[in-house]
Structure 1
Amino acid sequence: MVWMVTQQFVIKGKRRRIWGGAFLCWVLLMLVTPKISHSPNHHHYADMRNFLGVPNTLNVITSFPFLVVGVLGFVLCVQGGFFNISLPGEVWGWALFYAGIAGLAFGSAYYHLKPDDSRVTWDTLPMMIAFSSLFSSFIVERVGERIGLSCLFALLVIAVLSTAYERTCNDIRLYMMFQLIPCIAIPGMTFVFPPKYTHSRYWLWAAGAYILSKFEAFADMKIYHANRYTISGHSLEHLCLVIVPVLLSIMLVHRNRKCQRIGTFKQLL
């Protein structure tokens, strides 16, 4: 009994250190990094071809797989029985995640039809909502339902504020950190907090797919040249990003609740 109480205090102390460290890192980054404004070339992509009267055709078309995956995932999540979701808090998080993915299809297509500062918000906001809900779902699974739901509402508020800050101050630091932190935190927390479900390796694969998509976006023009102007890195980024919810959907289908016992490193994966 004493050992169990001691372990609970250790876990709570570990949680406080993690959240405190994350907050301090965020404050430090905002203090030491200079303002990052939108580049004049931010809205100029490698492939801006026009097919059948649709501007930036491939960038627009490659946005619609998000709609298919998002709508299908949202329906299966709300309907229940197909995805292995055992906690009510998880339903909220996953439903919002798939809703954000579906919204990203419309926001991305709308933005790429005429890329400019006034439209980019509709491209970034659905993605921020998807990030918020996905990270909170991970916290519900690994840390606890109560703290996960608290993080969900807090992250949604931060997402809206970050988007508003980007628009009013022309500073994309909060937006960049909002995307970067989950990519670091999810793999790190995977090895710190034991999973409640099997097939948790899909979290790492999804994080890897997201990182790969960022490299494709960074090498937009180089990829476009390398494949002889067939498809650009930005269009490939869209297709690679779709793999993230697909991998997580496969995880939700196949995972099962783990028995409550001390796990090994192999169980963490």
Structure 2
Amino acid sequence: MSAKQLYLLSLFASIIIAIAYGPIEQPQSYHNFADNREFLSIPNTLDVMSNIVIVFPGIMGLLLVKERSQKSLLSEDEISIHITLFSGMILTFAGSVWFHLDPNDSTLFWDRLGMSVVIGSCISLLIHDMWDRNIVAKIHIPILVLSILSVVSWTIFDDLRFYFIIKHHPFVLLPILMYFSQSIYDNVSGYIKGLSMFVLATIFEFTDLRIFELTGFISGHTMKHIFAGIGLWFLMVMIRDRELRINEEE
């Protein structure tokens, strides 16, 4: 079975499972975070301030894109993907800060909107690096649109299934591509480290109260932001330090 066949099979399976499972509404209990302490008149201070870890790789990444595009070290497709990826990190920072200042479905939309841009860009980046870099010019914008629509559809239909399929897409795509394909670059460690950090971030998200009770000073959701930011940092560093394989340059 080829990478394309396995990927399409896994995508089809996830869609069938989502249809069979039925609509998934947004639980309002999601907005009740463990740490609601307020410092310096900032509501939910640590959940708000911990987002700073997410914005740093976004800013550093955009500066990197500017430098390398001026030196003609990136293709037009890579410039487009990198700009949306790192801009999405900054949007996620802004959206998450807004959300945690006043947690509700309306502000959560802006939090997830930024994340959808990052997720869509990661999917395009994986396809460019490990699958077919020639097709990315045609599919990058459609992938971004689909990612954004997954968030819009949640607000319209109060159904998270489409969003969950998109959100977890890279977790399925990366192992398949790493098994069947070889990256055009010499370094893929950022993908592995980033994926590991996002898995840990998800665990912390689901153990928000437990972590806060154990530590007494930091919640699982705050840890989620920190580890997600570290994962994005690993991704940015990988992009910064990697080089094309010799056979790809020829």
Q: Output the TM-score relative to the length of structure 2.
A: 0.92
Return the alpha-carbon distance in structure 2 between the equivalents of residues 74 and 52 of structure 1. Answer: 31
User: Does structure 2 retain, via aligned residues, the 8 Å contact 1:187–1:207?
Assistant: no
User: Does structure 1 retain, via aligned residues, the 8 Å contact 2:24–2:160?
Assistant: yes
Alignment of 1:99-138 (within 5 A): 99-138=87-126
Greater Cα shift, 118-127 or 15-24: 15-24
Alignment of 1:52-201 (within 5 A): 52-80=40-68, 86-201=74-189
Which structure: larger Rg? 1
Aligned amino acid, residue 136 of structure 1: S
User: Does structure 2 retain, via aligned residues, the 8 Å contact 1:78–1:95?
Assistant: no
> Per-residue deviation at 1:132?
0.4
Q: Paired residue for 1:240? A: 227
3-state SS of the aligned residue for 1:145? Answer: coil
Number of paired residues?
A: 248
1:253 pairs with one of 226, 229, 240: 240
- The two structures, once aligned, show a CA RMSD in angstroms of 2.1
User: Does structure 2 retain, via aligned residues, the 8 Å contact 1:209–1:243?
Assistant: yes
Q: Paired residue for 2:21? A: 33
User: Does structure 2 retain, via aligned residues, the 8 Å contact 1:199–1:255?
Assistant: yes
Greater Cα shift, 57-66 or 143-152: 143-152
In the alignment, structure 1 segments of 5+ residues that lack a partner are 1-12, 262-269
Aligned amino acid, residue 121 of structure 2: S
> Per-residue deviation at 1:83?
10
User: Does structure 2 retain, via aligned residues, the 8 Å contact 1:47–1:231?
Assistant: yes
Aligned amino acid, residue 258 of structure 1: R
Return the alpha-carbon distance in structure 2 between the equivalents of residues 46 and 119 of structure 1. Answer: 18
Relative distance call for 1:160 and 1:180 in structure 2 (3 A) is: same
Greater Cα shift, 189-198 or 215-224: 189-198
Aligned amino acid, residue 57 of structure 2: V
Return the alpha-carbon distance in structure 2 between the equivalents of residues 187 and 54 of structure 1. Answer: 41
The one-character-per-residue Cα deviations of 1:24-76 (angstroms, maximum 9, x if unpaired) are 22431232112111112011000011111111000100112222221221121
> Per-residue deviation at 1:155?
1.5
Relative distance call for 1:21 and 1:137 in structure 2 (3 A) is: same
Relative distance call for 1:60 and 1:82 in structure 2 (3 A) is: farther
Greater Cα shift, 69-78 or 55-64: 69-78
Aligned amino acid, residue 232 of structure 2: P
1:42 pairs with one of 30, 44, 47: 30
Return the alpha-carbon distance in structure 1 between the equivalents of residues 22 and 237 of structure 2. Answer: 40
Q: Paired residue for 1:211? A: 199
Q: Paired residue for 2:190? A: 202
- Structure with greater contact order relative to length (CA < 8 Å, sep ≥ 6): 2
3-state SS of the aligned residue for 2:148? Answer: helix
Give the fraction of aligned pairs with identical amino acids, expressed as a percent: 22
